[in-house]
Structure 1
Amino acid sequence: MRIHRIRSGMTNCWLIQWSGRTLLVDAGIAWDRRFLGHLQRTVDPHMIELLFLTHGHTDHIGHAAALQEYYGIPAALHPADLALVMPPAPDIRAVRSGRKKEKHVPFSPAFLVPDGLPPSATPIPCPGHTAGSCALLVEDCLFAGDAVMSFLHPALLGYSENPQAARDSLLRLARLDCSMIYPAHGRPFPMERLRYLADKIQRS
């Protein structure tokens, strides 16, 4: 399996190639005009069979509409986050990033998770950060979205719609059988560090 990080601001989008398949996790920030260029230099976008959106926040769905329209890449999103992305509202849920709010182009996902995914890619619902937050397990790698971040060390994000649910979701993720975690913010890290964080949370 080959994994490429496509950065968009402070957000990691992950391009996964395995067993003849190519899948993109998240679609960056709308105002990041370099995102599509970075993606095109990594892969022919027409090869991407699915865009998996870990949740509906604007730093993850910024180019979803363009990828569907220009390259025919269908997007998959958990149904609980539909209200964050669909028209007609132009700015349904702006996520704070620094001192400003980012807008996205509203769109309608082609698939609602778990539909549309390859058999070897398993969606893992992890509500809390948003109601429809969802990680993706591919072979022994977990693409965790905002269920956990890893800058200096793995940690819960500072903001969640439901902090208790976010905590419970992280504890469930720590029980999965996988080897590496690929977060949307920060660096990849081994599963042992997520289990250490989970133990620390349980003891607190």
Structure 2
Amino acid sequence: MVGSIRRIDFGVNCYLIDVEGGYVLIDTSFPNKRDKLDAELAAAGCGPDDLRLIVLTHGDVDHAGNCAHLRSTYHAPIAIHRQDAEIVRSGDMTAGRTDKPDRHTLAFRFLTWASGLLYKITRTGVDFEAFEPDVLLEDEQDLSAYGLDARVVHLSGHSSGSIGILAGGGVLFCGDLLVNVMRPSLHYYIDDLAQAHESIRKLSGLGVETLYPGHGKPFPLSELPIPGRRFG
């Protein structure tokens, strides 16, 4: 069974998990949320030497934006799937992606514009800092060495190196494969729709009970659309 989960919601979710010997952090939000994230970690009792691992569900700036800072401050290694590693090394969010994504909704374009505008208004002078990850993850990789009873599940679609973290009790941190903004659905940006659908088909065979998405509140697997219906 996974330890206590603290959802840190900045429009994009970070999840702080209480593990043996400290904490594991899943995703890190935008760079301009740095001070707020530090405050959330402190409020949870996570000090500079208490963070055992930072796991990224994928390499986009809203999930990887504070990694370099956190590694320097909290002395924690950063883990990402090898197929998304070039995104964080280069700072290029298009690295490894196609020129024309299969799904690029109007809602995503609006949210991208709005978040970009908000970032300019509220920015603190801190931009994304590219970094070299410490751990390159593979499908089925065990994370128990970091105190977390969980394994990596490759869930490509949003990006080629997107992953989920499958923990005890049927808990799956699914990154941006799925969102729960108005209702559970595919993310508004999907690079490869066929891969995303294949990733979704995996879920029923994994014993998943509750999904913790990158955006929106956690929800039970039963709230996903019936298999065979079009994901919206």
Q: 2:16 is matched with which residue?
A: 15
User: Is the 8 Å Cα contact of residues 50 and 117 (structure 1) preserved in structure 2?
Assistant: no
Letter in 2 for 1:185: H
SS of 1:122's equivalent in the other structure is strand
Alpha-carbon distance between aligned partners in 2 of 1:172 and 1:30, rounded to the nearest angstrom: 32
Letter in 2 for 1:43: G
Query: Residues 141-164 of structure 1: CA distance to partner in whole angstroms, max 9, x if unpaired?
Result: 111111111122210011111122
Alpha-carbon distance between aligned partners in 2 of 1:27 and 1:201, rounded to the nearest angstrom: 33
Q: 2:208 aligns with which of 171, 178, 192?
A: 178
User: Is the 8 Å Cα contact of residues 7 and 35 (structure 1) preserved in structure 2?
Assistant: no
Q: 1:3 aligns with which of 2, 5, 30?
A: 5
Q: 2:160 is matched with which residue?
A: 131
User: Is the 8 Å Cα contact of residues 3 and 16 (structure 1) preserved in structure 2?
Assistant: yes
Letter in 1 for 2:133: P
Alpha-carbon distance between aligned partners in 2 of 1:2 and 1:138, rounded to the nearest angstrom: 12
Q: 1:35 is matched with which residue?
A: 37
Letter in 2 for 1:80: Q
Alpha-carbon distance between aligned partners in 1 of 2:155 and 2:221, rounded to the nearest angstrom: 16
User: Is the 8 Å Cα contact of residues 11 and 60 (structure 1) preserved in structure 2?
Assistant: yes
Taking structure 1 as reference, are residues 203 and 80 closer, same or farther at Cα in structure 2, changes over 3 Å only?
A: closer
| Structure with higher helix content | 2
- Stretches of structure 1 that go unaligned for 5 or more consecutive residues are none
Alpha-carbon distance between aligned partners in 2 of 1:166 and 1:20, rounded to the nearest angstrom: 35
Q: 2:80 aligns with which of 77, 81, 84?
A: 77
Taking structure 1 as reference, are residues 182 and 35 closer, same or farther at Cα in structure 2, changes over 3 Å only?
A: same
Taking structure 1 as reference, are residues 203 and 56 closer, same or farther at Cα in structure 2, changes over 3 Å only?
A: closer
Moved more, 128-137 or 44-53: 44-53
Q: What's the TM-score, normalizing by structure 2?
A: 0.77
User: Is the 8 Å Cα contact of residues 156 and 195 (structure 2) preserved in structure 1?
Assistant: yes
- Report sequence identity in percent: 29
What's the C-alpha RMSD, in Å, of the aligned pairs?
2.4
Alpha-carbon distance between aligned partners in 2 of 1:161 and 1:20, rounded to the nearest angstrom: 37
Q: 1:57 aligns with which of 57, 60, 84?
A: 60
Q: 1:93 is matched with which residue?
A: 93
Q: 1:118 is matched with which residue?
A: 144
Q: 2:172 is matched with which residue?
A: 142
Letter in 2 for 1:128: G
Letter in 1 for 2:28: A
Moved more, 168-177 or 60-69: 168-177
Q: What's the TM-score, normalizing by structure 1?
A: 0.87
User: Is the 8 Å Cα contact of residues 174 and 198 (structure 1) preserved in structure 2?
Assistant: no
SS of 1:60's equivalent in the other structure is helix
Letter in 1 for 2:92: I
Alpha-carbon distance between aligned partners in 2 of 1:157 and 1:39, rounded to the nearest angstrom: 27
Letter in 1 for 2:218: P
Q: 1:193 is matched with which residue?
A: 223
User: Is the 8 Å Cα contact of residues 55 and 81 (structure 1) preserved in structure 2?
Assistant: yes
- Stretches of structure 2 that go unaligned for 5 or more consecutive residues are 95-107, 120-126
